[in-house]
Amino acid sequence: MKIRVGQGYDVHRWVKGRPFILGGVEIPSDYGPLGHSDADLVCHALCDALLGAANMRNIGYHFSDKDPMWKGVASTLLLKKVLEMIREKGWEVGNVDVTVVLDQPKLNPHIPSIKENLAIVMELDIDQISVKATTSEGLGFVGRQEGISAMAVALIQAK
């Protein structure tokens, strides 16, 4: 069986008054990530991991932040489009693993909802999706609460 692995990484600056959306789920917060779309880091990192595994460049190549068509778009839509693209090339998702790095707010209460929503969006079994959160222990731009980051790994296999 032919398999490939890809990784994705995303970073956004925190701004007051923006919605905070991860995996298509709104997280209660006074701050949210700044971005051209809804700035959903989980979806962005997953898009890059899937595109990388399929050797199809990155999210910015396919959905430029210079294109007004993508202004304010729900990143779950971008993730659906990426899945269509890799499936058209003969790939299916084996599993994905995402880590979100932030000190506040705490994500553990929201992880089940994020996983459930991603399972629906990605048309996968919930057991194929791992979502975790960790802190930066107060270090760097994340620790200073200037921004948030997320990393993802995706395994894809030939249909």
Residues annotated within a binding site: 10-12, 36-37, 44, 58-60, 63-67, 134-137, 141, 144
Binding residues for a divalent metal cation: 10, 12, 44
Q: At what angle do helices 75-88 and 41-53 cross, to 10 degrees?
A: 10
| Nearest CA-CA partner of 27 in 126, 88, 117 | 117
6 contacts: CB under 8 Å, gap ≥ 6: 48, 49, 50, 51, 52, 53, 54, 153, 154, 156
Residue 141 burial (CB count, 10 A)? 14
Residue 106 phi/psi, 5° resolution? -70, 135
Hunting for tokens 């729900």 — which residue is that?
74
13 contacts: CB under 8 Å, gap ≥ 6: 33, 34, 146, 147
61 contacts: CB under 8 Å, gap ≥ 6: none
